[in-house]
Each structure stands twice: as structure tokens, then as C-alpha cells.
């Protein structure tokens, strides 16, 4: 019962935040509200006992990405900060996604259903044997680093590549070279 009440409360906050994200016109408030949105998502994950996911969501989603978005908004030219875009395409896209999700939702298993396919595949094996094989109590760490070591190596390389890309794109030297190149082409 408590679980349901807390979940209902958090999801109504999510809906309220979404409504204000939709309503507001200044970009900086949209960024702040998105930070609130991800923080509430983290609270929902805690309520679902997914502490590791909640931790990541709180640190990455509402921490670092909000700061980076604030920096990006601060770098925009003055006139563009509060410019209203044509909302019609995005509304159309959102409504069609909602319709598709509502059509699918009846086929999904219920929340916490023990017979859901996700709980029957490899999960029982991991939960049963990982402690005795690896002697490490946190199953999430076992799966992340040992069962799926290749995946995590790939994720690390993705993050590395993303950082490399941003450095190459935004470092001032490259930018100067580019503008000089453009001038030469114009001449």
C-alpha cells in the first residue's frame, strides 16, 4: 500500500513537471525542470529497489547533464535564448508515441510479476550462483564487471569516444582553423 501511495505521489510530480516544461518559454527553466524530472525518476527507481540505477540517474542525469546543459544555454547568443519554436511537429510526434505506447501497454506484464519473461531468463541463475562463484555480495557489480565485462568495456570506450569528439569539436584551435578555412573559400 505504501509503495503504491509513494509511486502515485512521485508520478503525479512527474506529470506536473512535464506540464511546466511544456508551458515555460525560457530555455534555462526548461533545463532546471529537466533536472527535477530526472531527480524524481531517481526517487522512483529507489522506490522500485533499483538503487544502482537510481544512483546513476541522480549523479549523471540530474547532476552532470544539467550542468552541461546550463553551460550550453549560457553560450547561446542573447537573442536565441527565449525564442519560441514551432511546437506542432513535436506535439504530433509525442501524441503518436503516446498512442503507440497505450496500444502496447496491455501486452506488458504487470509491475513486479514474478512470471514476467525478464525474471525467467538468466536472472535467477545470476542471483543464485553469483555469490558462490565470485564471493562478491553485490550482484549488479558481478553482472556489470564479470558476466558482462565486454559490454562494460564497450561502454567505457563509448564514453571515451564521446569525450574525444567534444574536445575535437569545441577546442578553440580547431574552431579558428575552420573559420579561416571558410574565409579562404569565400575569397
Q: Per CB under 8 A, does 129 bind another protein? A: no
Instruction: Write the CA distances from 100 to 12, 74, 110, integer angstroms.
Output: 22, 36, 18
Q: Per CB under 8 A, does 134 bind another protein? A: yes
Taking the least distance from each CB to another protein, the nearer of 77 and 117 is 77
The HSE-up count of residue 178 (CA atoms within 13 Å, CB side) is 8
Kindly tell me the number of DSSP H helices and DSSP E strands found in the chain: 10, 0
Contact with another protein (CB under 8 A) among 85, 179, 184, 187: 179
Conformation bin of residue 112: beta by default, left when phi > 0, alpha when psi is -120 to 50: left
Please give the Cα distance from 142 to 127 (Å, whole number).
10
Contact with another protein (CB under 8 A) among 122, 127, 159, 177: 159
Contact with another protein (CB under 8 A) among 71, 95, 108, 122: 71
Q: Per CB under 8 A, does 112 bind another protein? A: no
Residue 52's contacts (CB-CB under 8 Å, 6 or more residues apart) are 140
Would you tell me which residues interact with another protein (CB under 8 A)?
Answer: 51-52, 54-56, 59-60, 63-64, 67-68, 71-72, 74-75, 77, 133-138, 140-142, 144-146, 149-150, 152-153, 155-157, 159-160, 162-164, 166-167, 170-172, 175-176, 179
Amino acid at each position: 500500500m505504501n509503495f503504491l501511495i509513494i509511486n502515485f505521489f512521485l508520478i503525479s510530480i512527474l506529470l506536473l513537471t512535464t506540464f511546466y516544461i511544456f508551458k515555460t518559454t525560457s530555455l534555462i527553466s526548461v533545463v532546471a525542470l529537466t533536472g527535477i524530472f530526472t531527480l524524481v525518476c531517481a526517487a522512483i527507481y529507489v522506490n522500485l529497489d533499483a538503487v544502482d540505477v537510481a544512483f546513476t540517474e541522480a549523479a549523471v542525469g540530474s547532476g552532470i547533464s544539467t550542468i552541461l546543459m546550463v553551460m550550453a544555454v549560457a553560450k547561446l547568443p542573447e537573442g536565441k535564448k527565449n525564442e519560441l519554436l514551432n511546437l506542432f511537429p513535436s506535439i504530433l510526434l509525442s501524441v503518436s508515441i503516446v498512442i503507440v505506447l497505450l496500444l502496447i501497454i496491455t501486452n506488458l506484464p504487470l509491475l513486479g510479476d514474478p512470471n514476467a519473461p525478464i525474471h525467467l531468463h538468466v536472472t535467477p541463475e545470476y542471483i543464485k550462483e553469483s555469490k558462490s562463484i565470485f564471493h562478491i555480495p553485490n550482484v549488479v557489480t558481478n553482472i556489470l564487471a564479470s558476466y558482462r565485462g565486454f559490454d562494460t568495456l564497450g561502454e567505457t570506450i563509448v564514453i571515451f569516444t564521446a569525450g574525444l569528439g567534444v574536445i575535437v569539436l569545441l577546442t578553440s584551435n580547431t574552431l579558428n582553423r575552420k573559420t579561416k578555412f571558410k574565409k579562404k573559400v569565400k575569397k
